[in-house]
């Protein structure tokens, strides 16, 4: 079975909508997911940077059915930052900071940049948003997440306002 056939069998619009519904996401996020899903098959894998003496995995032969578990729940994460810093789950950020997430989600790396990013966008489960207000030195922000299920497709969004800083 080809990778494309495996992918179509494992993931479709219904799967992506069910995932978005599970997290009660706003319409704009559901649309981002669906656009990414539609683009997956047409996009190339990211280029592999060859290193002498190393052999890299052939991504084209991955068995998506064995790898991707789109409806698995993300494990609980522990997040910590300074007092003025907001460190939220993606779900909490979509509820508490919807305009901020919508403005910056996919703004550094295009969600349709390559096949793997599009796949992760379509099937995202969980993630973290770090918001550092203007003029705040956040110091070190720590995020620890346990892996449950076969796949973990979280998204980390860091928004550092002017004259602020954050270490990770």
Q: Are 10 and 86 in contact (CB under 8 A)?
A: no
Q: Specify the pLDDT at position 94.
A: 95
Residue 153 has a pLDDT of: 81
pLDDT attached to residue 103: 97
List of the chain residues with pLDDT < 70? 1-10, 57-83, 147-151, 168
The per-residue pLDDT for 3 is: 52
pTM recorded for the entire structure: 0.75
Nearest to 80 by CA among 122, 31, 130: 130
Q: What was the pLDDT predicted at 160?
A: 94
Q: Angle at CA 149, nearest 5°, toward 37 and 16?
A: 20
pLDDT tens, residue by residue, 3-14: 555 555 668 899
Q: Record the tokens describing residue 66, joined without a space.
A: 């064995």
Q: What is the pLDDT of residue 80?
A: 46
pLDDT at 62: 62
User: Residue 49: enclosing H or E segment and its boundaries?
Assistant: none
Radius of gyration in angstroms for the set of CA atoms belonging to the chain, rounded to a whole number: 17
pLDDT tens digits, residue range 118-139? 999 999 888 899 999 999 998 8
Pairwise CA distance, residues 129 & 95, whole Å: 12
The predicted pLDDT at position 53 comes to 79
């Amino acid at each position: 079975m080809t990778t494309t056939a495996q992918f179509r069998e494992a993931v479709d619009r219904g799967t992506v909508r069910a995932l978005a519904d599970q997290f009660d996401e706003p319409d704009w996020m559901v649309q981002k997911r669906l656009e990414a899903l539609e683009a997956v098959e047409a996009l190339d894998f990211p280029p592999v940077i060859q290193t002498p003496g190393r052999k890299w995995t052939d991504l084209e032969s991955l068995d998506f059915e064995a790898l991707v578990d789109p409806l698995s729940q993300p494990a609980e994460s522990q997040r910590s930052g300074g007092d003025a810093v907001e460190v939220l789950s993606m779900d909490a950020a979509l509820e508490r900071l919807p305009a901020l997430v919508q403005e910056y989600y996919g703004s550094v790396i295009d969600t349709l940049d390559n096949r793997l990013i599009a796949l992760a966008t379509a099937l995202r489960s969980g993630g973290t948003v770090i918001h550092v207000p203007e003029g705040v030195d956040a110091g070190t922000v720590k995020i620890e997440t346990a892996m449950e299920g076969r796949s973990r497709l979280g998204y980390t969004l860091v928004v550092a306002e002017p004259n602020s800083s954050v270490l990770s």
